[in-house]
Structure 1
Amino acid sequence: MALDAYSQIVSSVAAALTPKVASVRAGRGSGSAVLFTDDGFLLTNAHVVNGTSTGTVAFADGTSAGFTLVGADPLSDLAVIRANGPTPEPAELGDSDGLVVGQLVVAVGNPLGLAGSVTAGVVSALGRSLPARSGSAVRLIEDVIQTDAALNPGNSGGALADASAKVVGINTAVAGVGLGLAVPINSTTRGIVAALMRDGRVRRAYLGLVTTPAPLPPQVRERVGQSSALRVSEVVSGSPAAKAGLRVGDLVLTAARRPVSDAQALQRLMFADAIGRPLPITVLRNGALVDVITEPVELGPLTV
C-alpha cells in the first residue's frame, strides 16, 4: 500500500533519526540524547543527567557505551555528554529560526523507556518562556518551541526534527496533554553547546524577568519603529530587574539600545560580558516611554 505524502515524510524522518537518538541512563534518571558529532558527543537535557557525571547510552542498533558528562547548563536545560565507545553517524542540527507556526515536526525519543518511539505534530507556538524553579529561585528557559507532538517522560533530551530530518529542538518538558516543549536549536543554543564543550559550563547574566512576545498597537509601531516587543509577565523579587524598577505589564522595547522583538534578542545579551555592567532598557508603560538602567548579576547554579 502506497503511503500518503504526510506518512512518507514522517517515516523518512523516523528512518533517518532513530539510529542517532540514544536512550540515556544516568543514576536514577533516564531520557534521550541526540548524537551530533562524529566523535561521540551527544546533546540532552540538563535535567536528564540530573547532576550525575557518568551513565550509559544505548542506540537503536543494540550498541551501548558508557558516557561522561562534559557540561550542563540548567538555564537552557541543555547538557553535553560524550560516549566512551563507537557511535553511529551523527544527526544534522538545523536552525529553529526558520520555523513557522503550523509546520510539521517529528519527535524521536524513548518515552517511558520504549526505545525508538516516533510521534508527529505541528509547531503550536514559538517564543515561549519556561520558568525553572529551585526553591525560591526562578530561572528562565527562553524562546521555547511549543508542539502538539505527543511527548512523555523519557522523551526529554530527544530530537524534535523538521521534515528534512534536521534537529530543530531538544524535547524538554510536557506541560499538558497535547502541549510539549522543546529547547530551540539556533545561534544562541549553538553558543551554549560550544561553551559546554570548551569549558564545561556557561557563565550567564541574570535579570529576573519572565517575558512573552507581544505585538505593538499600530500607533505605537509608528512611534518607536518596531512591530513587537516583550511583555513582562513576572519580575523576580530582589532581582536586578526589580531593583531597576521594571514592572509586570511593561513592554520591553530596547535593551543595550537595541530593539527587542523576541526573547532571543534579550537572551543574546545575557552572557558573561554583561555581568556587572550597566544595561539600559527602554519600556513602554501606560503609553509612556520609560528608561531604566539595570545591572545584570552572574547567574548562580540551579539545582536540577
Structure 2
Amino acid sequence: MTTDTEALDAYSRVVVSVAEKLGPSVANLRVARRGTGSGVVITPDGFMLTNAHVIGNGRRVRASFTDGSDVQASVVGVDPLSDLGLLRLDTAAAHPAELGDAANLRVGQLVVAIGNPHGYAGSVTAGVVSALGRSLPARDRTATRMIDDVIQTDAALNPGNSGGALVDGTGTVVGINTAVAGVGLGLAIPINATTRRIVSALMRDGRVRRAWIGIAGGARPLPPRIAALVGRDNAVEVVEVIGDSPAARAGLRAEDLIVAIDGVPVRGVDDLQRLLGEERIGVGVALSVVREGEPREVTVRPEELSSR
C-alpha cells in the first residue's frame, strides 16, 4: 500500500520534472506602456505564444528568461477574439515547449501553471483540471465572441501569469493561462486544433479571418434515441443566439443541437469552429439540427466577424 509520503514524493517528482522541462521556455514579457505578462516559446526559430490582451496595441516587447537572458521581440499578430497573440524573438530560442492536445484532458488531472505572477519570473503552481468546456467572452473593437472549451483549473494564477503555460504531467503545453476568475479559479485557452489553426494564420498573415454565425455553445452528449437517429454520440448545443446575427435571422434557437455542417459531423465546438473557416464567409451553409427531438435543416449565411 502506498504511504502518504510516497504519494507526496511521486507528486513532487512530476511537478519538479515539469518545472525543469518548461522553465526555460517561459518568459516574462514587458510591453511598453502596458505592463507585464508571460509567454511561451513554441518553435526553435523563436515564435512565442501569449495572450492578445498582454500585447494589446504594443509593438515593443522584451522577453526575459530564467537563465538571465533578455531579448527583444516583435509582434507578429494578435487575435483578440481568441485572446491569443504571437511574438517572434529577435534571437532564436533554444528551448521551445511541446504543444499537446487539451482534448485529452480529464477533470481531476494534474496540471502545472508556469508564468511570472507579479513579475516573479519562473513561478510554478500546481493543481488539477477543475472543469472543462467553460466559455469565456473575448472582445475586439467591433465584436464580442465566446472562447469555447476553456479549461478551468485551481492551480493558483495571479496577475502576470497571463500568457504563461498550463502544462500536463508529461510536460506538454495544454493551455495558455488567460484569466483569474476568482480565488482558486483560473482559466486557460486550450491547445487544440482550433488554436493551432489560429497560430498558423497569425504566422502566415498576422491576422485571423472568421466566418461568424452568432451563437455560443458547448459540446453535449446526445440522448441514446437521438444518437441512434443521427449516427453519432455528441453534438454542439446552442446556449445563446446573438441578436441580429446570421443564426438569429436563420431561426436558430437556444437548445438546438447542431449535429452537422453541410453533412460533415459536428461533435464539439472545435469541429464547429474548424468547419466555419474563412471560405464559408457569405456562403449559404446547411446546419443539421435536432430541435425538441426532431431533425431539421437550417440554412445560415455566415458573415466575416471583423466586418461587424
Work out whether 1:142 is the aligned partner of 2:131: no
1:109 match: 115
Q: Among 12, 15, 18, which residue is 2:17 paired with? A: 12
TM-score for the superposition, normalised by structure 2: 0.92
2:180 pairs with 174, 177, 184, which one? 174
Give the percent of matched residue pairs that are identical in Structure 1 and Structure 2.
Answer: 57
AA in 1 matched with 2:129: V
Match of 1:268, SS state, is helix
1:3-23 deviation per Cα after TM superposition (whole angstroms, max 9, x unaligned): 610110001101111121001
1:79, CA displacement in angstroms? 1.0
Is 2:250 the counterpart of 1:241?
A: no
Mark the runs of 5 or more structure 2 residues left unpaired by the alignment: none
Question: Which digits, 9 at most, give the CA deviation of each residue in 1:146-181, with x for residues without a partner?
Answer: 222111111111001111111111111122222222
Aligned pairs for 1:24-173 (under 5 A) are: 24-27=29-32, 28-85=34-91, 87-133=93-139, 137-173=143-179
1:107 touches 1:159 (CA, 8 Å); kept in 2? yes
> CA offsets, 1:194-235, max 9 Å, x none?
111111111111111100222222222222222222221111
Larger mean CA deviation between 288-297 and 220-229 belongs to 220-229
Identify which of 160, 185, 203 aligns with 1:197.
203
> Counterparts of 1:36 and 1:232 in 2: how far apart (Å)?
33
Whole-Å Cα distance in 2 between the matches of residues 239 and 158 of structure 1?
34
Size of the aligned set, in residue pairs, is: 302
- Rounded to whole Å, the distance in 1 between the matches of 2:41 and 2:105 is 22
Q: 1:240–1:294: 8 Å Cα contact kept in structure 2?
A: yes
Shift of 1:29: 3.0
Cα offset, 1:85, TM superposition: 3.0
Secondary structure in 2 aligned to 1:60?
coil
The more displaced of 220-229 and 159-168 is 220-229
Q: Cα RMSD over matched residues?
A: 2.0
Inter-partner Cα distance in structure 2 for 1:220 and 1:187: 27
Three-state SS of the structure 2 residue aligned to 1:300 is: helix
Q: 1:255 aligns with which of 238, 255, 261?
A: 261
Indicate the SS of the match to 2:306: coil
Cα distance in structure 2, aligned partners of 1:119 and 1:76: 24
Gaps of 5+ in 1: none
Deviation at 1:301, TM superposition (A): 7.3
Query: 1:69 Cα shift?
Result: 0.2
Task: Tell me, in whole angstroms, the C-alpha distance in 2 between the residues paired with 1:53 and 1:84.
Answer: 13
**One-letter amino acid of the counterpart of residue 177, structure 2:** N
Measured at CA, do residues 285 and 86 of structure 1 come closer, stay the same or move farther in structure 2, by a change above 3 Å?
closer
